[in-house]
Amino acid sequence: MILRSTRKKILQRTEIYIFSAIVLFGLVVQARSGQFFTNNNLVDISRSMITPGIFAVGALMVMVSGGIDVSFTAIAALAMYAVTSILLPSDYSGTMLLPYGMGAFFGLVMGLLNGVLIAYFHFPTLVVTLGTSSLFIGIMQGVLGAHQIPIPRAMYRHGLAHVFRVYNPVMNLGSEMPVTIFLLIGLLVLVFFILRYTMLGRGIFAIGGDEISAQRAGFNVMGIKLFIYSFVGAVAGIAGIARASMVQSCQPTNLNGMEMTVIAAVVLGGARVTGGVGTLTGAVLGVALMTIMSNSLILIGVPTYWQRVFTGAIIIIGTGVSAYQAGSGNRRSRKSSAAKTVVAN
């Protein structure tokens, strides 16, 4: 009986199905191209996961709290361009703590704007972040006159630094694992600790479940919301600096459209758009599946524009599954309450 219950709980976890989909898709690509499980392709996939993975961690926190943020790519782009523009004239060549610190600060300020509008004025999260996204892009393109520019020496060297390098003699290709992978790993550890072992993390889940109940339980709803959006903004600023370093230039439009892919990945990973449910494991697996599809379509001869079709379909399917699960949970709760009432009577 216990084994049956445990197996049922395991099979109900979204992560199992995403992992199975990743393995199945990998086997299909391997059968068609023979290149999926090569060392350089796996490293390239891991490299491509870094920026969306960092974004996904922030998007997960927002979604668990019951909100949807579509401004994080605009925050990252503006922070990236602002920091690069400030440091480029002197061709800054010192430690990377300064660029990352500046990126985090600019991102925090922009995220705080989101937090104030959402926490203090109770504006809808989607409306606020849509508006601030346009605002930040407008400042970058209109006020700053954004265009592609080189990056200072420190960021250039940082982008070239790698943990290890692999070589595929069959394809005559080499790939490097950038040191920025440690940013993603460190962020995952930090957010896992926050969500799992702190009252702040419990508050984030509680707000997503029922904001009024969370407030009655003693959680500082306003303070938690300010933290979430400020933290997500700071993380986005750091992601922007990492992105510019890895691509070896500051391209203001480089992140356009990535927010939809990231949100699709987080929803695919089991996070409910209604809030209160979501895991880091699911978010990472969702990003992995989206990245693998994006990187591997060419290997099996599928045009890359189909990625947008897959992204849209995943958002619809993921949202539908979340709504169905939420509805099923509510129906079970009502049945349980009704059964208890009958017994009591």
Each of the 345 residues of the chain gets a pLDDT tens digit; together they read 555 555 555 556 778 888 888 898 888 888 887 888 888 889 999 999 999 999 999 999 999 999 999 999 999 999 999 999 999 999 999 999 999 999 999 999 999 999 999 999 999 999 999 999 999 999 999 888 888 999 999 999 999 999 999 988 877 788 899 999 999 999 999 999 999 999 999 999 999 989 999 999 999 999 999 999 999 999 999 999 999 999 999 998 889 889 988 998 898 888 888 888 889 999 999 999 888 887 777 777 777 677 677 767 766 776 666 666 656 655 555 555 544 444 445
User: Tens of pLDDT along 84-114?
Assistant: 999 999 999 999 999 999 999 999 999 999 9
All structural domains of the chain with their residue ranges = 39-255
User: Tens of pLDDT along 223-271?
Assistant: 999 999 999 999 999 999 999 999 999 998 889 889 988 998 898 888 8
Contacts of 323 (CB under 8 A, 6+ apart): 273, 274
Phi and psi at residue 166, to the nearest 5°: -120, 160
